[in-house]
Chains A and B, each alone.
Chain A
Amino acid sequence: MRILAIESSAVTASVAILTDDTLTAEYTINYKKTHSQTLLPMIDEICDMTDVKPDEFDVVAVSTGPGSFTGLRIGVATGKGIALATGIKMAAVPTLDAMAMNMYGTGKLICAVMDARRQHLYNNIFFFDENNRLCRCREQSLDSYDQLAAELNGLNRDVIFVGDGINAAREYFDKYLTCKYEYAPAHMTTQRAGSVAMLAMQMAAENKLVDADDVKPDYLRPSQAEREFAQKKEPK
């Protein structure tokens, strides 16, 4: 099975090809260029470098969020376009789960955090079970720094953080976290399409692939207009 994986949920643009058990290509750019200009040329490049034609993929996997609304849509639309053109199924991989995969096998809790601005983090907490299978402690959510810190302090377990939310919340965490914690090093903390591909392979084995028509980003946050509209409707 050959999987093309696409990750563009934040600043990082990353694409990978997983061929059965081998990660035959992974290309990651962590630089502020727009995904619209980088993502497809990167896919073209790894296909070219590994002598793969676009119609030789069995699955196209996308990182579905949360994250930058526009970034997610560029990645998802790219995946949907390839799936539409080649008639293959898609894997809709939650971004935070893929980030947690970067810490494969750790005995600690993994807290994946993405900067959601306004002192908030898109986040989820994971662990690896005895079979080294990634498990969620709960559903992913959008929380303020203090909400998440309080939750982690309450769990009182060793935690390792991954994700760009670290840079945003580091000062707050250092001041208020009472549990044992550390931050993942640079090579493990950014989004990687290789991790997206690994979860996609697992989804394929579990018959969790979906039609391209049904794939859409999971924003975890309504648009500003929808938030304001809901507030207006609520009785004061």
Chain B
Amino acid sequence: MESSMKEQEEVLILAIESSCDETAAAVVKNGRTVLSNIINSQIDIHTLYGGVVPEIASRKHIENINPVINMALKEANVTLDDITAIAVTYGPGLVGALLVGVAEAKAIAFAKNKPLVGVHHIEGHISANYIEHPELEPPFAALVVSGGHTHLVMVNDYGDYEIIGRTRDDAAGEAFDKVARAVGLGYPGGPKIDKLAKEGNPHAIEFPRAHVEDSPYDFSFSGIKSAVLNYINQCEMKNEEINKADLVASFQNAVVDALVSRAMMLVKERNIDKLAIAGGVASNSALREALSSACEENGIKYYSPSPKLCTDNAAMIGAAGYYDYIKGVRHGFDLNAVPNLKLGERI
């Protein structure tokens, strides 16, 4: 392999992530060893507004970014002189939020004369698995589920991603948030539904499993979400009390079923023996259990990052950035944020 020489050297990546409401920086060694992983979450502020407010997120990023980076360097016990390259998330995400991290990363790369590597946020989520599982290597299938993304992906090689299925409407996490709001659980919806669903019967109500015609691997969650909202309306009209635990358990079951069935279809059809999950919704306990038992039944090795690496963080960007760096990916000082950057796309 052409990169074997480089791999023997110690490559330290300083990674920066600011695509949504977490300001994060990390130092990662050789793509797999996390020396530091600092996350400043703004969730308490955004909870006031019932969701992430882009302008407020951007304002917090600019206030927090220097202390977060300095803390990441300090905790890793390194200086910028020890760093091989700077990696930064440049999309997808909120444009104003992304721009803070991108401008900061570019300025550091310029001032210290270090290579700059722009990283795709979702590639970062998938790469969180490299940190947790040293033995994991491509090819494998990956299910990425978060508040903004629902993708079924084939990771054919490092940095080589093939999108197999995607959501046609809401992301899975978005559906969780909307249903949580309708039921009065508040924001963020995912963890709250996860908790309440444990007390409910997942088969109490049958919600539809939407299929997208001609695209067996694509997802659609707005139908499930609408069915839940209709159910609530009907109960209210009939003055029937809603069993919230049963309702959210049934909703969650419908979403999990849609995700697991397509992931299993892919590994079987492509004859793949490894499946990884990633993204914020990957910390959902019902999804983790269902995927892990489905994999066990089918003799497939199942990989998942620990919950801390499922949420937005910079360690995962450092892991993805390392493999991009090794492959020779470099960005210039004119790197811009790309809010709708596609997986596998290079700008």
Contact = CB atoms under 8 A, between A and B. Distances in A.
B105 A81 contact: yes
A212 to B, nearest CB: 5
B334 A77 contact: no
Interface stretch (B3-11, B52-60, B143-151, B176-184): B52-60
Contact of B111 (A77, A86, A216, A217): A86
Given A37-B334, A77-B65, A82 B111 contact: yes
A38 B335 CA distance: 9
A81 B86 CA distance: 12
Interface string A35-50: 0111111011000000
B103 A84 contact: no
B56 A85 contact: no
A77 B69 CA distance: 12
Tell me the dominant secondary structure on chain B's binding face: helix
Given A73-B99, A226-B56, A40 B49 contact: no
Contacts of B96: 69-70, 73
A78 interface: yes
Contacts of B48: 229
Given A74-B99, A77-B99, A216-B63, A37 B336 contact: yes
A103 interface: no
A197 B66 CA distance: 22
Contacts of B53: 223, 225
A223 B59 contact: yes
Name the residue in A34, A81, A85 with the highest tally of chain B Cβ atoms < 10 Å from its Cβ.
Answer: A81
Contacts of B107: 40, 77-82, 84-85
B108 A73 contact: no
B330 to A, nearest CB: 15
Given A85-B80, A229-B48, A73 B100 contact: yes
Nearest to A70: B96
Contacts of B138: none
Interface string B322-339: 000000000011111100
Given A70-B99, A77-B62, A223-B55, A82 B70 contact: no
Interface residues of A, number: 36
B337 A81 contact: no
A43 B110 contact: yes
B62 A217 contact: yes
B36 to A, nearest CB: 15
Interface in B106-142: 106-108, 110-113
Contacts, number: 112
B314 interface: no
Contacts of B63: 216
Interface string A62-90: 00000001100110111111111110000
Nearest to B18: A77
Query: Which of B58, B67, B333 is most buried by chain A, counting CB atoms within 10 A of its CB?
Result: B333
B104 interface: yes
A229 B49 contact: yes
A79 B103 CA distance: 9
B102 interface: yes
A223 B102 CA distance: 22
Nearest to A71: B99
Contacts of A219: 59
A221 B63 CA distance: 16
A54 interface: yes
Interface in B64-93: 65-67, 69-70, 80
A131 interface: no
A73 B56 CA distance: 12
A84 B16 CA distance: 14
Interface in A93-120: none
Contacts of A79: 107
Contacts of B69: 84
Contacts of A36: 99, 102-103, 334-337
A20 interface: no
Contact of A80 (B104, B335, B336, B337): B104
Interface of B: 48-49, 53, 55-56, 58-59, 61-63, 65-67, 69-70, 80, 95-96, 99-108, 110-113, 332-337
21 contacts: A36-B99, A40-B106, A44-B333, A54-B111, A70-B58, A70-B95, A73-B58, A73-B61, A77-B107, A78-B103, A80-B66, A80-B107, A81-B104, A82-B108, A84-B104, A213-B67, A216-B59, A216-B62, A223-B56, A226-B56, A229-B49
Given A81-B104, A219-B59, 8 more contacts: A36-B335, A41-B334, A54-B113, A70-B96, A80-B66, A81-B106, A216-B62, A229-B48
